[in-house]
Structures are given as structure tokens and as C-alpha cells.
């Protein structure tokens, strides 16, 4: 059995035991996703100082302002902080999220001055702040205590905040560096509750001690939508949140978003959060104002949540149309420049929408298997600047590659931040060509030719007898699957029984292997017109009209030429 633990070999079919072993699962204990397995908050540097300051604000009735971010991670983290602090008894909790077109990312000095107009005693950042040195300085200088909660990588200088809680900050020994922003908030709030309990707050106020588990639906959504690695700690958070959603205990905003996306909460999976719910929430921050998304998540009942979810759904449709047009334009620009074969791609058009460039960069990355940065004009507030959004490939830390450029050419990059797979930056428009060249050089120094090949990894060639609904359910039940804990993928050759286009761009197939016949779906795939194909696929469960059937979800497919033996 090789590296397969005997207990896993006895418990699962060989193909699945091997797939688990390849993902570092070496015992049944590592498959246990109960809340008791969560890492302790004690090793999160700064968490006690943060909890004490927020706890004092609750007991003294001081005004707290939560400053969030305009993506799904920031929105869920903001809703979590506002909702839980109110449940703790904080009488004056409000939130502020920067409009990306007016303020850009994070707690900028301009946004800090807007925050001061709310007259807070404490500002708590969510999913931002670790790079907001000047913004934090403005607030602290005005006598406002700033508690930074973030997960992004810090720069050489830390902000002068009252407290910083970030698993990636220097000196933090928290074992998981993969927490999303919403996960950091969840940990901080658990410690605030401990402080309040010790202080006798709940007993004195007559409030019940809140159980934080009902808020795990927000943690699951933000964690999956931010595409952070699903290490065991994150998988516990996501698994427990999904359990509550499926059990009918999701908050109204998530239920309303699921309705808008035509997804069943009863059968909700991590992929639904990532590809259906998250994009609708993100659409508010991309095209409009994330306040609408946060309001949806904070809605106390479905009649309040549904109109907000409908607005987010409409924004997502608009976002999709803009994205498709921009991606087509990016493809033309790359083809005309002949830059698709280079190690990295930077692309810009003056007509592009700033809120959608991250998705375009992701599409370019997927097409070329190259790190990609898409740029758009920064807008009226900075007419000579470009804002860029970067997406990376495995084995390239894109934030560090941009840091290399900034170090080699001081002043070339106005500001930047992010993490391994995604980053944001600002440039002067006149520096775009110079930066593009420097970025390619930084990538060349960090990657090999193999890294730039789109190598597809398979968990094996499944015989037809293993293509069963039971095995598809087995895989589904042992998620959540996602970044860093990829769903098992298999390969094999099939006879094509039938194929037809559905939804204008997708290919619905009936495939046969041996005596087994199975439905399959290939997204964004033109008809093949072949009698035999080679496919890379996942075992999926199709629950159309509440009837579960096996459906192979095709990641890659190609005709098998006559005489070609696979």
C-alpha cells in the first residue's frame, strides 16, 4: 500500500485512500473536522491586547468602528465583527468600507479622516491594515485606538497600532499561516468573549454567553471565497460552517444569496460558496459599494435580505458581461504583442473597469499558465496612476516577485501588497513598460521552465467499475475541497455516446468506459465531434430536481486520434 496508512486502506477504496495519502492524510485523526480540533488562539501574537481593548469598549459602551475591505473575505469578516460585538452587548458598533474607486484598498489616510467623522473610540480593521502605516498614524494621533486584524503579508515596517493580530506578522507563532481575514476575526472575537467572561460582563448584564458557532457560516463563506489554502484548521472552519448551512441554520443573507444563485442550502458545498455565493457578494465591491453586501449579510430576516441579494445578483450579471468583454480584449492585446510566450504577462487598456481586473488577470493566468497582472486607470483621484491586480501560478510567490522589483528599482512601484497567489499594486502610468520588463525579470529569477508548463496532475486512471454515484458521494463527503486541498482528479479514455451544447458555452456528454455509462459536463468547451476522447475529470454528484446521479466534471478533454493508444 506504500504510504497509505493501514487504517485508511481498510476504510476506503484504494483509489480514494491513495488520493488522501497524496494530500497528507495519514490517519483518521487528520480527517476529523470537529471544532475540538481547532488550533488554540493563544499563539496568535497580540490577540490578548486586542481582546482586552475591544472588551473594554464593550463594557464601557465606547463606539467601535469596523473598517473592512471590499471583497468577500472583508465583507464576511466585517459582518462577523459587527454582529458578534453587538451580540456581546456593544451598544455602538458601526462599519466603514472604502469604495475602491474613491479610496483604493485599506485604511488610507483619507479613509482614516472619514472614520474620524464617526467619532470612534476604537477602530478595528478587518482583512486590511497591516500595510496602512499612515492611516493608522492618523487615527492613533487623534486618540483613537486601532486594532489591526489582517492576514496579508507585512512590509518592512508595521503600523503603529494599539494591537496587531496577523498570523503572518513577524514573531507570530500561530501554526497556520493560511487563515483568511474572516478567520482572524473569528479568533479575535473568541478571545474577546473570554475576556468578557472573566470580567463578569455577561453575568452583570444579564446577557447569555454567546456561542460563536452560529457565525461559522460567515467564516466558511469568506475563507472559501478568498481562496486561501485549506489546511486542516481552515477545513474545520469551512466544514463546520457548511454543516450549519445544510442544517438550515444559515443567516438570512446567505440563504437569500443561495436563492439568487439557484443553489440549495441543504446540499451546499465549498464549490458553491466559491463559484456561486462568493462572486455575487464580490460583485458589490467590484462595481459598486460593498456596503450593500455587508447589509445583506447583516439582514435579520429573509424579506430584508432578498432585495439586497437580488441587487447583488444583478451586479454579478453586469460584472460577468464586463469581464467577458475585457478578457476578450486582453487576449487580442496579448496576441498582438506576442507576449503570451514570455514568463509573465502585464496587460492594460485605458477603458478597463478597475473592479474587474483581478478576474481578467485570473483568466489570462488560466489561459497561458503564466503569472499575469491586469492594469486599469486609477481614476479621477489619481489620474496619472494605474492600479494592477496580479494572479500567480504554483511555485511563484507573486507578492515577493513584486517586492523584488520594488527593491531593485526604488520608486518604481508606488505601493503593493498581497500574498502568494494574488497581489495588488499601484504604478505611475508612464512606468508601465519599465515595470513589465522588471517584473518578467523577477519572475525569470524565481521560476523554472517546468513551472511554466501547465502540468495537469491526476490521481489515477479509474476503471469503469469505480465510476459510481457511491464513490462520488464518498469524495464529496470528505471535503471541503479547494485551494491547497484539491479535489481528487482522475483521467481515462472514453467512448462518446452523445454530446450537446447547453447554456451556449458548455458541453453535455454521455461517456462510456467498459460497461459503465456516465453523464459528464465540460464547461466552456466546444463540441468535439469525436468518437473517443481522453479526459481529466472529477467525480461529481448532480442533484438536478432533487434526484442525485453521477456526473463527471471534466477539467480537460481531447479527441483520441485513430491509432493513438492512451
How many CB atoms lie under 10 A from the CB of residue 253? Answer: 32
CATH topology agreement for domains 41-311 and 338-444? no
Report pLDDT digits (tens) over 29-55. 999 999 999 999 999 999 999 999 999
Phi-psi region of 550 (alpha: psi -120 to 50; beta: other; left: phi over 0): beta
Report pLDDT digits (tens) over 161-191. 999 999 999 999 999 999 999 999 999 999 9
Phi-psi region of 289 (alpha: psi -120 to 50; beta: other; left: phi over 0): beta
The per-residue pLDDT for 564 is 62
User: What class, spelled out in words, does domain 41-311 have in CATH?
Assistant: alpha beta
Residue extents of the structural domains in the chain: 41-311, 338-444, 464-559
Domain 464-559 belongs in CATH node 2.40.50.140:
no
Report pLDDT digits (tens) over 316-345. 999 999 999 999 999 999 999 988 889 999
Mean pLDDT of 80-100: 95
CATH number of 338-444: 3.10.310.30
Nearest residue to 125 via CA among 184, 211, 190 = 184
Instruction: Return the exposure string of 97-121: e unless at least 16 CB atoms fall within 10 Å of the residue's CB, then b.
Output: bbebbebbbbbbebbbeebbeeebb
Nearest residue to 529 via CA among 514, 547, 507, 545 = 507
The fraction of the chain above a pLDDT of 70, given in percent, is: 99
What is the C-alpha to C-alpha distance for residues 188 and 196, in angstroms, rounded to an integer?
12
Quick check: bond before 480 cis, omega within 30?
Answer: yes
Nearest residue to 436 via CA among 467, 475, 409, 396 = 409
The per-residue pLDDT for 544 is 78
Report pLDDT digits (tens) over 188-227. 999 999 999 999 999 999 999 999 999 999 999 999 999 9
Nearest residue to 268 via CA among 281, 279, 277 = 277
DSSP SS3 for 70: coil
Task: Spell out the residues 6+ positions from residue 104 whose beta carbon is closer than 8 angstroms to its own.
Answer: 98, 378, 381, 387, 426
The number of C-alpha atoms within 13 Å of 538 and in the hemisphere containing its C-beta is 20
According to DSSP, residue 39 is labeled P
Per-residue pLDDT at 424 exceeds 80 = yes
Between the CA of residue 361 and those of 191, 199, 249, 325, 395, what are the distances in Å? Answer: 38, 49, 36, 13, 17
Place of cell 492576514: 151
The pTM (predicted TM-score) of the whole model is: 0.93
Amino acid at each position: 500500500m506504500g504510504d497509505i496508512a493501514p487504517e485508511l486502506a481498510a476504510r476506503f477504496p484504494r483509489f480514494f485512500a491513495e488520493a488522501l495519502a497524496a494530500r497528507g492524510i495519514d490517519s483518521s485523526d487528520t480527517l476529523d473536522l470537529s471544532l475540538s480540533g481547532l488550533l488554540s488562539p493563544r499563539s496568535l501574537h497580540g490577540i490578548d491586547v486586542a481582546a482586552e481593548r475591544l472588551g473594554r469598549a464593550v463594557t464601557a459602551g465606547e463606539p467601535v468602528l469596523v473598517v473592512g475591505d471590499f471583497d468577500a473575505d472583508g465583507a464576511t469578516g466585517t459582518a462577523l465583527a459587527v454582529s458578534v460585538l453587538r451580540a456581546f452587548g456593544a451598544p455602538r458598533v458601526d462599519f466603514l468600507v472604502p469604495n475602491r474607486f474613491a479610496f483604493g484598498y485599506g485604511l488610507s489616510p483619507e479613509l482614516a479622516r472619514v472614520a474620524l467623522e464617526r467619532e470612534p473610540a476604537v477602530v478595528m480593521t478587518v482583512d486590511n491594515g497591516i500595510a496602512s502605516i499612515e492611516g493608522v498614524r492618523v487615527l492613533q494621533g487623534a486618540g483613537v485606538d486601532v486594532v489591526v486584524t489582517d492576514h496579508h503579508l507585512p512590509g518592512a515596517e508595521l503600523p503603529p497600532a494599539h494591537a496587531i493580530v496577523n498570523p503572518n506578522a513577524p514573531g507570530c507563532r500561530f501554526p497556520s499561516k493560511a487563515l483568511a481575514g474572516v478567520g482572524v476575526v473569528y479568533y479575535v472575537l473568541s478571545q474577546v468573549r473570554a475576556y468578557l467572561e472573566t470580567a463578569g460582563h455577561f453575568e452583570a448584564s444579564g446577557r447569555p454567553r454567546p456561542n460563536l458557532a452560529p457565525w461559522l457560516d460567515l467564516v466558511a463563506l469568506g475563507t472559501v471565497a478568498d481562496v486561501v489554502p485549506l489546511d486542516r484548521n481552515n477545513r474545520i472552519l469551512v466544514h463546520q460552517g457548511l454543516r450549519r448551512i445544510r442544517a438550515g441554520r444559515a443567516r438570512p443573507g446567505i440563504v437569500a444569496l443561495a436563492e439568487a444563485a439557484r443553489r440549495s442550502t441543504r446540499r451546499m458545498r465549498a464549490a458553491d460558496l466559491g463559484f456561486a455565493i462568493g462572486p455575487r457578494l464580490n460583485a458589490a465591491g467590484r462595481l459598486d459599494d460593498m456596503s450593500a453586501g455587508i447589509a445583506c449579510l447583516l439582514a435579520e430576516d429573509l424579506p430584508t435580505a432578498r432585495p439586497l441579494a437580488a441587487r447583488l445578483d444583478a451586479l454579478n450579471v453586469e460584472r460577468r458581461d464586463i469581464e467577458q468583454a475585457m478578457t476578450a480584449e486582453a487576449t487580442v492585446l496579448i496576441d498582438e504583442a506576442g507576449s503570451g510566450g514570455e514568463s509573465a504577462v502585464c496587460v492594460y487598456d485605458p477603458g478597463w473597469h478597475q473592479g474587474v481586473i483581478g478576474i481578467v488577470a485570473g483568466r489570462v493566468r488560466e489561459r497561458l499558465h503564466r503569472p499575469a497582472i491586469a492594469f486599469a486607470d486609477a481614476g479621477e483621484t489619481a489620474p496619472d496612476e494605474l492600479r494592477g491586480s496580479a494572479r500567480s501560478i504554483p511555485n511563484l510567490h507573486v507578492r515577493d516577485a513584486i517586492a523584488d522589483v520594488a527593491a531593485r528599482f526604488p520608486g518604481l512601484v508606488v505601493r503593493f501588497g498581497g500574498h502568494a497567489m494574488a497581489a495588488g499594486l499601484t504604478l505611475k502610468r508612464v512606468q508601465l513598460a519599465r515595470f513589465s520588463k522588471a517584473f518578467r525579470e523577477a519572475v525569470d529569477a524565481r521560476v523554472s521552465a517546468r513551472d511554466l508548463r501547465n502540468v495537469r496532475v491526476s490521481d489515477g486512471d479509474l476503471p469503469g467499475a469505480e465510476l459510481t454515484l457511491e464513490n462520488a458521494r464518498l469524495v464529496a463527503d470528505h471535503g471541503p475541497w479547494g485551494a491547497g486541498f484539491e479535489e481528487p482528479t482522475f483521467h481515462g479514455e472514453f467512448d462518446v455516446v452523445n454530446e450537446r451544447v447547453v447554456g451556449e458555452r458548455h458541453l453535455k456528454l454521455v461517456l462510456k468506459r467498459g460497461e459503465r455509462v456516465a453523464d459528464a459536463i465540460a464547461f466552456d468547451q466546444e463540441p468535439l465531434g469525436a468518437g473517443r476522447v481522453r479526459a481529466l475529470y472529477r467525480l461529481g454528484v448532480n442533484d438536478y430536481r432533487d434526484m442525485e446521479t453521477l456526473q463527471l466534471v471534466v477539467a480537460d478533454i481531447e479527441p483520441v486520434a485513430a491509432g493513438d493508444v492512451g
